[in-house]
Structure 1
Amino acid sequence: LTDLGTYAQRAGALLAAETGSESAGDLARLLAALPAGTVGVTLNPGALIINGFSPLEAVAALGSQIVYVHAQDGVRDLAQGRGIEVQLGRGAADFPALLGALEEHGYRGDWTVVREKAENPLEEIGQAVSFLQSL
């Protein structure tokens, strides 16, 4: 990862690990073992929720290392024993609180709407953009 991150920096890019499949603490420990600034974090609140983790805890643990945000939402489906993706603003992600927490850590970067299983992608992405603009 160090070599990839260093190469990305030389190429004018940034290597970022996306949150979701591991706890924020585990990811923070991995990043702490690397040279500072080599690898950043892409925060994905939906992926965190789907996998049983807290997006706000992730921002608290990784805030200064977050370089990009995926705007995705999710809920835990206890009947199925896993989480599912839902339309932005209709899940468990508290986007106003996330925005505030990110601002406290100095994040002023971009957000990309992520919707993997939309019935009407154009409409849902448009609604997601409107939702984010309303914050």
Structure 2
Amino acid sequence: MELGLLVVLKPSIREEIRKVSELGFATCQLSCWDESLFTDEMIAEIQQACAEYKVKISHIWCGWLGPQSWNLIDGPSTLGLVPEAYRDSRLQMLLKGADFTAKLGVQDMITHVGFIPEDPGDQRYRSLLTCLHYLAIYCKGKGIHFLFETGQETPVTLLRVIEDLNTGNLGINLDPANLILYGKGNPVDALDVFGSYVRGVHAKDGMYPTNGRMLGLEVPIGQGKVDFPSLVGRLKELGYEGPLTIEREIEGDEQIRDILSAKQRLEQLL
């Protein structure tokens, strides 16, 4: 395992990749919520910057358009591919994201699918599977894996989806903090459920929700409920050799301080 950093794809991507290198990372995930950036010109710029600064893109994190309520009340009806009202347009963006990922030479694309229904007999679950099957097969045709970002569904539900789809190119980007922030599970225990499917990991920390409406609070690594020594140890037992990609969802000087502090803590564990 090595450490990486999550960065946002933007027109000034060369500067972002330079920062990744200057902060001492050799890999990064690129997160994109703007499909206008999925161009051949952007691919060339990314490849040139990565060559110059010796940084590898490990994953593409592809977002989607439309309403986004990151809470426990409106989240189920607005996030990911679960809400049928936004499914078609979001699928189209993810297909473009898959094209971009493949052209860039990256093997894995990630997204939040949304609050997947727990009941496998729920019609929304069945229709979601149809959509996900189309997306997974499309990604397979491009030679890439499609990864589920954890958090909005229980580990068992996520495992069931992967088993039901059974396309051979599905995986998981484990965000241990998200499982806690959404109150869906303990990330170390979750590895007993779906550990063999983990192809990416976010290094992020957080607290459990304290009410039934809002997510828990994201905090710097070492200040939350994620047991990173146990998590890293279990990942090693499972043979995971991919990056631990640090994610800190704030901006400015405090974000840089927290990233460097996380880097120091995780280097000791590795």
TM-score (norm 2): 0.47
Q: Alignment RMSD, CA only?
A: 1.9
Give 3-state SS (helix, strand or coil) of 1:107's partner. coil
Q: Please report how far the alpha carbon of residue 69 of structure 1 lies from its aligned counterpart in structure 2 after TM superposition.
A: 0.1
Q: Aligned partner of 2:133: which letter? A: T
Partner of 1:90: 223
Higher RCO, 1 vs 2 (CA within 8 Å, ≥6 residues apart): 1
Distance of 1:132 and 1:12 partners within structure 2: 32
Partner of 1:61: 193
Distance of 2:169 and 2:142 partners within structure 1: 13
Distance of 1:82 and 1:2 partners within structure 2: 29
Higher deviation after alignment, 8-17 or 60-69: 8-17
Distance of 1:10 and 1:112 partners within structure 2: 27
2:238 is equivalent to residue 105 of structure 1:
yes
Distance of 2:167 and 2:229 partners within structure 1: 29
Of residues 228, 252, 255, the one that matches 1:121 is 255
Name which one, 1 or 2, has greater alpha-carbon Rg: 2
> Identity, % of aligned pairs?
36
Q: How many residues align?
A: 135
* Contact 1:74/1:91, CA 8 A, preserved across alignment: yes
Partner of 2:154: 23
* Contact 1:85/1:117, CA 8 A, preserved across alignment: no
Partner of 1:44: 175
Give 3-state SS (helix, strand or coil) of 1:83's partner. coil
Give 3-state SS (helix, strand or coil) of 1:41's partner. strand
| Deviation sequence 1:91-115 (CA, Å, 0-9, x none) | 1100110111112222111111111
Q: Aligned partner of 1:129: which letter? A: K
TM-score (norm 1): 0.89
Distance of 2:134 and 2:264 partners within structure 1: 39
| Deviation sequence 1:1-60 (CA, Å, 0-9, x none) | 233223323434321001111110110111110125321000001001111121012111
Q: Please report how far the alpha carbon of residue 77 of structure 1 lies from its aligned counterpart in structure 2 after TM superposition.
A: 4.7
2:267 is equivalent to residue 133 of structure 1:
yes
Give 3-state SS (helix, strand or coil) of 2:265's partner. helix
Higher deviation after alignment, 113-122 or 48-57: 113-122
Give 3-state SS (helix, strand or coil) of 2:216's partner. strand
Higher deviation after alignment, 63-72 or 94-103: 94-103
